[in-house]
Amino acid sequence: MNPTESGQGAVRPSADDDPLRTDSVHLPAPVESRHRLVPTPLGDMVLAVGDFDGGPAVTGAWFAGQKHFPDAVVLGTADDGQDPLLSRAAEQLKEWFAGERRDFDLPLALDSKPQGLRPPVWQALRDVAFGQTTTYGELALQLGGAGLAQAVGQAVGRNPWSVIVPCHRVLGADGGLTGYAGGLERKRSLLEFEGSLPRTPGLF
């Protein structure tokens, strides 16, 4: 089974699909994975992509050494600088941190066996616009009810696409900063950069 999933509903990929499509995909484990270290103003990030039957997709973007950093099996081999999707993702990150981009236009690979609310939570995070914030409770209500808040929090914390899927835009019920796998100082800096918090002079 090899379904793909996007905001427009489920579609089945074909050999004619654009290999650099922009939908979020719901796929099994990749045949092969590659990663690349990308410098950012908030520290190095590691981007990873995998090859699937429907084409390549980004499997993660992590700050080096952050909580829930993946193991070597997930990262795969080091890229030689030639992978087009890794290059595209790295360029979009560079543009984002330079203030030249607000959204990412990349295919993201979701686990083929959904773990609770993770896939729908990650999709919902992509709808939280640059400069906007939400709360765990608001996401829970959006996805089915206030009783889901704890599960939503766990899914947000396990988001494997730092910055690209903006889990840093989720705040506590009182508007305070809460857990972020990349560290609360990075979360604060990202929100300041986006204008959601007063900006520290010389931030980046």
Alpha carbon distances (Å) from 31 to 34, 46, 68, 104: 11, 19, 22, 24
Torsion sign (Cα): 97, 82, 22, 153: negative
pLDDT tens series, the chain, 204 aa: 332 333 333 222 333 333 343 445 444 567 799 999 999 999 999 999 999 888 999 999 999 999 999 999 889 999 999 999 999 999 999 999 999 999 999 999 875 445 567 889 999 999 999 999 999 999 999 998 888 888 999 999 999 999 999 999 999 999 999 989 999 999 999 999 999 999 888 788
CA distance 153 to 136: 6
Q: Are strands 134-135 and 170-171 parallel, antiparallel or unpaired?
A: parallel
CA distance 26 to 197: 34
As annotated, the active-site residues are 167
Please say whether the beta carbons of 20 and 88 come within 8 A.
yes
Q: State the pLDDT at residue 76.
A: 94
Tokens for 5?
Answer: 């999933």
Q: State the pLDDT at residue 110.
A: 72
CB neighbours (10 Å) of residue 118? Answer: 19
* Residue-range domain boundaries for the chain: 24-110, 114-194
Q: State the pLDDT at residue 146.
A: 85
Q: State the pLDDT at residue 65.
A: 93
Cα dihedral 63, 64, 67, 70, rounded to 10, equals 100
Q: What is the pLDDT of residues 119-129, one digit of tens each?
A: 899 999 999 99
Q: State the pLDDT at residue 121.
A: 93
- Counts of helices then strands in the chain (DSSP H, E): 6, 8
Range 24-110: architecture per CATH:
2-Layer Sandwich (3.30)
Q: State the pLDDT at residue 118.
A: 86
Q: State the pLDDT at residue 6.
A: 34
Q: State the pLDDT at residue 20.
A: 40
* CATH of the structural domain 114-194, one choice from 3.30.70.380, 1.10.10.10, 1.10.645.10, 3.60.21.10: 1.10.10.10
Chain center to CA of 161: 2
Please say whether the beta carbons of 108 and 58 come within 8 A.
yes
Phi, psi dihedrals of residue 107, rounded to the nearest 5°:
-80, 130
Which amino acid is present at 81?
Answer: G
Q: What is the pLDDT of residues 46-81, one digit of tens each?
A: 999 999 888 999 999 999 999 999 999 889 999 999
Spatial CA neighbour of 24 closest among 145, 123, 117 = 123
CA distance 87 to 11: 26
